[in-house]
Amino acid sequence: VTFAAALEQIGYRGAERCGEHPLSAFFELHIEQGPILEAEGKDIGVVTGVQAMRWYEATLTGQDAHTGATPMHLRKNALLGAARVIEAVDWIGRKYAPGVATVGLIENRPNSRNVVPGEVFLTVDLRHPDDGVLHDMQEEFYDRLKVIGDDLALGAEGKTIWEQPAVRFDPDCVTAVRRAAEISGFSARDIVSGAGHDAAYISRVAPSAMVFVPCRGGISHNEAEFSSQQQCAKGAQVLLQAVLDYDRQLAERGGKDAYRGGS
């Protein structure tokens, strides 16, 4: 069953072809999903873009061995290698701040109390607002992975499984958001989104920008996610103000046609 056929069946397909809908601009309001605005006591984040992201997978291969019977100097401990990769990835994040670098997932094999681990699979997430710097972070990751494997006599294979270039939001849209916060009397700072958003994709076909509001502890995708009614209201106020402002400018610039998205 294709997506189109399923939409057809429930009467939701509609007549308009994908990409044909006219868009003058796109403004998106979102919680920050990070702790920066809260930490700095700011009401509004003026989102200037979305950082570039790349995902990697790595496998370290050693030799399963009995924890009691295998002297330290004769081990090929894949989990020790993984520990060094985790430390190295964290170090890369700190070195290239405001970039971030994380090992989020790890699978240890055979994962038994009395077996020196013979194989570890892990994932790495690297992000930076600048594509060039992200490339440097990637080089450093692959270099460190090789050195760690060599030092411990482990196999160490890594590969890039996904990448998304940095997004820079439309300067006029961003200016509209910044001015909206100012007019409304809210404290604001420019911010680069660490997470992906609808606006990052829509920015490929129409001028876009985003408004962030603080969220408690930077927690998201979690039942503990929370922004107060007041925080949300300020975000909505800035969103409305920015749309009105941008629309007014558009009219002043002589009623430039709404952008028609395409491939």
With CB under 8 A as the contact rule, the residue among 24, 35, 186, 216 that binds its own copies is 35
With CB under 8 A as the contact rule, the residue among 4, 6, 18, 105 that binds its own copies is 105
State the minimum distance, in angstroms, from the CB of residue 142 to its own copies.
Answer: 18
Q: Does 249 bind its own copies (CB under 8 A)?
A: no
Q: Does 129 bind its own copies (CB under 8 A)?
A: no
Select from 24, 75, 27 the least CA-distant residue to 197.
Answer: 27
Choices 109-117, 176-184, 238-246, 248-256 (CB under 8 A): range interacting with its own copies = 109-117
C-alpha–C-alpha distance, residues 245 and 253, integer Å: 12
Q: Using CB under 8 A as the criterion, what x/- string covers residues 45-84 for binding its own copies? A: ------x-x-x-------xxxxxxxxxxxx--x-xx-xxx
C-alpha–C-alpha distance, residues 81 and 214, integer Å: 38
Beta strands in 84-242 (DSSP E): 100-109, 115-116, 119-128, 155-164, 167-168, 188-193, 208-213
State the minimum distance, in angstroms, from the CB of residue 118 to its own copies.
Answer: 9
Phi, then psi, of 118 in degrees rounded to 5: -95, -20
Q: Does 93 bind its own copies (CB under 8 A)?
A: yes
The separation between the first and the last C-alpha atoms of the chain, rounded to the nearest angstrom, is 24
Pairing label, strands 52-61, 155-164: antiparallel
| Angle, CA of 80, 84 and 90, to the nearest 5° | 145
- Whether 208 and 50 have beta carbons less than 8 Å apart is answered as no
Peptide bond into 165 cis (omega under 30): no
State the minimum distance, in angstroms, from the CB of residue 124 to its own copies.
Answer: 9
Closer CB to its own copies, 25 or 60, in the complex: 60
With CB under 8 A as the contact rule, the residue among 25, 27, 28, 32 that binds its own copies is 32
- Binding region for its own copies (CB under 8 A): 32-36, 39, 51, 53, 55, 63-74, 77, 79-80, 82-84, 86-87, 90, 93-94, 97-98, 100-106, 108, 111-117, 123, 125, 127, 193-196, 217-222
